[in-house]
Structure 1
């Protein structure tokens, strides 16, 4: 079980209670205002990333090598989309775990990423040795 699924609802209930105990109704309004602002900031980031990804071809990245260097285990899908500024080419079946996506650059180098429950668990960089090399077959 993900601890975040328990702590966020507890914080959403507990923080206004703490605000009321400390400062009365003004504390509740300040805490609720801060929680709304936090939600709006995350929503704004989500919309900005999705606008950028809508303008680029699916599965394309400027440099697969640079993407490979910037990836880290445990980052979420939104972070990877912000790095690539494009939706990945889905290689796995829909609604199946793990989810496998691929981003390819102009030199036919590509990065294949594996996500479990929205978090990056592994990735592989493929670089063709010569201009005639073909990429390996897609993951099942």
Structure 2
């Protein structure tokens, strides 16, 4: 069970009740405004990431090696999309768990990421043979 999805509404409700008991309608307005601002900031970030990803080819990343270095276990798919500025090429059918996506760069190096319930579990960097010889 994902507690983050449940925890925010509970904390928001507790904050609203505490604001009502402590400051009346002014406190409710202040806490309600802070909650709406928090939600708008997250919505704005989501739209920004999706807009950037819509302008790039699906499954493309500037450098697969740099993406591999920046990835950390537990980050969500939106964070990886923000790093790559691209939607990943899906390797599993829609709705299947775990979800697997691939991002490839110009040199055909690729990073394959596995997400379980939206969180990054593991990833693999693939570099084509002969790629090391081309490096100075």
TM-score range normalised by the length of the shorter chain: over 0.9
> How far, CA to CA, are the matches of 2:6 and 2:88 in structure 1?
31
Task: Give the structure-1-normalised TM-score.
Answer: 0.90
The residue number in structure 2 matching 1:7 is 7
> How far, CA to CA, are the matches of 1:2 and 1:104 in structure 2?
31
Q: Alpha carbon RMSD of aligned pairs, Å? A: 1.0
> How far, CA to CA, are the matches of 1:111 and 1:62 in structure 2?
11
- Tell me the CA shift for residue 93 of structure 1: 1.3
The residue number in structure 2 matching 1:120 is 120
The alignment status of 1:24 with 2:29, answered yes or no, reads: no
> How many aligned positions are there?
131
The residue number in structure 2 matching 1:58 is 58
- Tell me the CA shift for residue 22 of structure 1: 1.6
Contiguous gaps of at least 5 residues in structure 2 = 132-136
The residue number in structure 1 matching 2:111 is 111
What SS does the aligned partner of 2:81 have? helix
What SS does the aligned partner of 2:73 have? coil
Displacement over 6 Å in runs of 4+: none
- Tell me the CA shift for residue 4 of structure 1: 1.8
